[in-house]
Amino acid sequence: MEVWLVRSGDTVLAELHDVTVDMPWFTARLRPRLGFEAVRPLFVDELRLLSAEPFDDAAWESTYERVAEAVVDFLLHIDGEEALRAARDPGPRGGCGRSANLGRRVRGGAAARRAA
């Protein structure tokens, strides 16, 4: 079983287990470690903005910059105990669709974002 680590610097904040592939996305179960709760609000806010209608590109970009500075430099959405990571840069709503909730793919894409 492959396990991916979500890090902040040298600190492991979470593990991603049971990774499955639905290109360009990887889905996984999130297993938070000590310290993850400090960054969870960033992911909650990011997912709220990602799901908003109408989509506010500037607000999402600003929020995701905070996520990337704190934790990752690839596209990662976290919803409760589910994680969705881009294999490469599909844009915030995904090159093959939007993810208002991690189990659903959507219609239409958006401008490219951070590289995976």
What's the rounded mean pLDDT across residues 22-44?
A: 90
- CA–CA distance, 56 with 4 (Å, rounded to integer): 30
41-97 pLDDT, tens digit per residue, is 999 999 999 999 999 999 999 998 888 888 866 678 899 998 888 754 444 444 333
Q: At residue 107, does pLDDT exceed 50?
A: no
Using an 8 Å Cβ cutoff, are 76 and 1 in contact?
no
CA dist list (Å): 4 to 9, 23, 50: 15, 17, 23
pTM: 0.69
Which pLDDT band, with edges at 50, 70 and 90, does 20 fall under? Answer: confident
- Number of helices followed by number of strands (H, E) in the chain: 2, 5
